[in-house]
Structure 1
Amino acid sequence: MNTAHQSVMLTETLEIMAIKSGSVVIDATFGSGGHTQALLDQGATVIAFDWDTEAIERGVVRFKAAIAENKLFLIHESFSKLAEEVANLKQTEDLPISAVLFDFGTSSEQLMSAERGFSFMGDGPLDMRMDTRLAVMAKDILALVPEKQLEQLFREFSGEVHARAIAKAVKQSPTPITTTAQLVDCIAKVTHRKAHGLHPATKVFQALRIAV
């Protein structure tokens, strides 16, 4: 099965943006570089952001030539730092911005990588960090956040109806919950999976991804 991430509605996006050769475009969510490649193919200069360390590392290799030619500026930061980083870049580069592109969400590559802990579909460490320069992982949140605040996190970030029971089960676990499989088992003990519908761990994992 091919799990490589594909940019969704790429053709439609490019048609709407109508980028002209020589334009400067910000790709605020670089990811696997699908949009960036398409923009470069249209003759644009791209300023791309991503706080996923692995995405940046892959991008540096894949787009080595474009980076060397100053056709691509690849920045290892969240798009929340976009204005600040672009202002810094403009101090040394003449880069009049024509458009900004956002493609929100977690990619299939990230979800399918068990060792990153984003998904409950495989067993791996409860990490969930996009930026591995950060110190706090999902397992640290489960260990350090008090039960009441953990309940609030599950409820507010995902609408989890069993937030109280899950938070209590996590905090009363006889051993620290450090893997995705352990967390799934903990959730399963206090929820009831329906024959059709969301996996019982879906919303808790969503909440933790947001929190991390």
Structure 2
Amino acid sequence: MISSLTGVVQAAALHTAVIDVNGFGMLVQATPQTLSALKVGERATVHTSMVVREDSMTLYGFASPEEREVFEVLISVTGIGPRTGLAILAVHTPEEVRIAANTKDTAAFTKVSGIGPKGASRIVLELNGKLVPTGAPVGSNPAAPAETWEPQVLEALTGLGWTEKDAKSTLKALAKAEPDLIATGTVPDILRAALRSMSSGARAR
């Protein structure tokens, strides 16, 4: 089992990254937030979970052991595969997932694209007792300047399938609705908020 990788980032895209570990290029899939922190040519460490199928072995990368732990619990739920697990962690922090599971907050899970009310109910039912809040602070990371986060967030949103027009419109609305987040939030914070807003809007239509 490969639990972490440390090496030079060879490539970083919207869904994957390649990390050179002693001459071996290791491909990992991850959330946009995790990938946004990887810089090509720089050394990095990602915590990993290997999912083995009959026809494949896939590494999933995470910024922290806590994120990996929540992912592994999520994919133990019936109907939640690695892609959905990553989608949940793209919208919510590990602690937010723990809180939602502990409080049976199905609405939190329906904010994730592709998860409806029935799926959310099944998730909170199966997560009962498996994930409990740790008391970790939420959204306490240092802020990134606008010239850094805006292009990264736009690129991540368009890479996830949203049009550039919709992405820009969402960020504009987010700036009005949550000015404190825009002023002090990190790239992951802002991206998560945008994904929540866009997923809710898609269901409303």
Q: Please tell me the TM-score bracket, short chain as reference.
A: under 0.3
Q: Whose strand proportion is higher, 1 or 2?
A: 2
Structure exhibiting the larger radius of gyration computed from Cα positions = 1
TM-score normalised per structure 1: 0.27
